[in-house]
């Protein structure tokens, strides 16, 4: 069940990123996240969530157990059973906050713009970890490459 929810999350994020943008650039007002029912707790420029321990030990091994088996390492396939914990390997455009209800903040995307008269949700790519920049075309390229039929 967890694997199917991660597939849905990845697909929803990619569809939102790839939706046609009809909003003029000057009308876009980017925000750091998206909230469905309340104000966002964290303000622009926050470096970590309050529940994250910055002094936590780094490194080590992670062992996950599960019943059953898997037949793919590709989390974007509609069929098959993905390996447990595979979603831990990939970053997503948005990261849900664990201390807020229905609130997500930019992870790969620095922010997003939601225009009141458009269903498009353009994402702003302006930063990335480890000195690597994420480009606007990267999610589309990754999605196309991973879902292309192999010959």
In angstroms, rounded to a whole number, what is the distance separating the alpha carbons of residues 112 and 98? Answer: 19
Inform me whether the pLDDT recorded for 103 exceeds 90: yes
Q: Which pLDDT band holds residue 49 (cuts at 50, 70, 90)?
A: very high
Q: Which pLDDT band holds residue 112 (cuts at 50, 70, 90)?
A: confident
Q: Which pLDDT band holds residue 55 (cuts at 50, 70, 90)?
A: very high
In angstroms, rounded to a whole number, what is the distance separating the alpha carbons of residues 29 and 122? Answer: 10
Mean pLDDT of the chain: 74
In angstroms, rounded to a whole number, what is the distance separating the alpha carbons of residues 94 and 74? Answer: 20
Q: Give the chain's count of helices (H) and strands (E).
A: 2, 5
Inform me whether the pLDDT recorded for 88 exceeds 80: yes
Q: What is the per-residue pLDDT for 129?
A: 52
Inform me whether the pLDDT recorded for 15 exceeds 50: no
Inform me whether the pLDDT recorded for 126 exceeds 90: no
Inform me whether the pLDDT recorded for 11 exceeds 70: no
Cα–Cα–Cα angle for 31, 95, 110, nearest 5°? 35
In angstroms, rounded to a whole number, what is the distance separating the alpha carbons of residues 142 and 138? Answer: 6
Which residues lie below 8 Å from residue 110, measured CB to CB, with a gap of 6+? 30, 32, 124, 125, 126, 127
Q: Which pLDDT band holds residue 75 (cuts at 50, 70, 90)?
A: confident
Helix (H) or strand (E) holding 96: strand 94-96
Inform me whether the pLDDT recorded for 150 exceeds 70: no
- 3-state helix, strand, coil split of the chain in percent (to 5) is 25, 10, 65
Inform me whether the pLDDT recorded for 74 exceeds 50: yes
Inform me whether the pLDDT recorded for 14 exceeds 50: no
For the chain, the residue count is: 151
């Amino acid at each position: 069940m967890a694997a199917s929810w991660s597939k849905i999350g990845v697909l929803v994020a990619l569809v939102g990123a790839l939706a046609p943008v009809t909003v003029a650039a000057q009308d876009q007002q980017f925000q750091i996240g998206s909230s469905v029912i309340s104000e966002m707790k964290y303000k622009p420029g926050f470096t970590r969530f309050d529940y994250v321990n910055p002094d936590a030990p780094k490194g080590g091994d992670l062992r996950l157990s599960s019943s059953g088996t898997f037949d793919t390492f590709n989390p974007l396939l509609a069929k098959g059973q993905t390996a447990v914990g595979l979603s831990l390997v990939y970053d997503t455009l948005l990261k849900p906050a664990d201390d807020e209800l229905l609130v997500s903040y930019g992870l790969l995307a620095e922010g997003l713009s939601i225009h009141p008269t458009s269903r498009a949700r353009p994402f702003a790519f302006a930063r990335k970890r480890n000195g690597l920049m994420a480009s606007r075309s990267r999610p589309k390229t990754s999605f196309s490459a991973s879902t292309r039929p192999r010959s």
